[in-house]
Structure 1
């Protein structure tokens, strides 16, 4: 099984990197895990709608360049379907059972994901209506993927 997280922008915060590294190490028992960073588009604070769209499109192109045809893609989106940890675990297990051994999660930049990325995604997933920094979301997502594997392994970690 291959699990990949594609995130927009560089992760600078040491504590977030350390958390992701810890869960990546734990995940290595179950799957090949990698985080791929694509550059964010530099933009001024105040953007018009057209400029926002342009930023998302440029970031989207960079994201799509990192996705292979065979990958099953979860796009993180506020309007996506919320899942419990158990539901995500069951979904990952089902994908593996039916031959989808390459799973990719995509976290957009501060403006979200382009329409092209959302269209390419096989499904959209939401972690609720909270607004979280996309850098923190990488850590939260990595932990949830690890939790899914622990649920599927019948481990008490989930309790």
Structure 2
């Protein structure tokens, strides 16, 4: 399956750039990965840029109102989407004000990384690592135990 990762901007902090690069590289062993960086001067412009970037792909928004997954549940979710014929899933992290209500209403799913508010850079790393970990579980590999 193809994973399309959409973020508002690039990671700015060195630790986040290194973590993003590492997990994006690892994730490419299991999926075709596309990364799109969007920008906007407002929440509405950012959300519209996310919508355009995702195109017709089912859009999973990272949002505190969303469902929380264990690593095993995320793995099962990705597997179910692939078995259901979804060729590409788009995952989007919003800007400082999050996503608009309109974008949330049109999303395929909302995914919460937890109840804490994470800085954008850290959320990007957590997204890439979580998808990588779920992929190793699906492949029956031991990473998720480490």
Q: TM-score range by the shorter chain?
A: over 0.9
Structure 2 residue 130 is matched with structure 1 residue 150: no
Which aligned pairs between 1:36-47 and structure 2 lie closer than 5 A? 36-41=36-41
Structure 1 counterpart of 2:3: 3
Which residue, out of 51, 71, 86, partners 2:72?
86
Runs (5+) with no aligned partner, structure 1: 42-54
TM-score by length of structure 2 reads: 0.93
- Distance apart, 1:113 and its partner CA: 0.4
- When the two chains are superposed, the root-mean-square deviation of aligned CA atoms in Å is 1.2
Residues 23-80 of structure 1, C-alpha deviation per residue, up to 9 Å, x if partnerless?
1211112111122111142xxxxxxxxxxxxx211111111110121x1211111111
> CA contact under 8 A between 1:150 and 1:157: conserved in structure 2?
yes
Residues 6 and 106 in structure 1, CA contact (< 8 A), matched pair in contact too:
yes
Q: Does 1:23 align with 2:23?
A: yes
- Is 1:33 the counterpart of 2:29 in the alignment? no
Which position in structure 2 is the counterpart of 1:135? 121
Maintained 8 Å contact 1:2/1:103:
yes
Cα contact 1:7–1:106 (8 A) shared by 2:
yes
The answer to whether residue 75 in structure 2 is matched with residue 77 in structure 1 is no
Which has the higher Rg, Structure 1 or Structure 2?
Answer: 1
Q: Under a length normalisation based on structure 1, what TM-score does the superposition of the two structures give?
A: 0.86
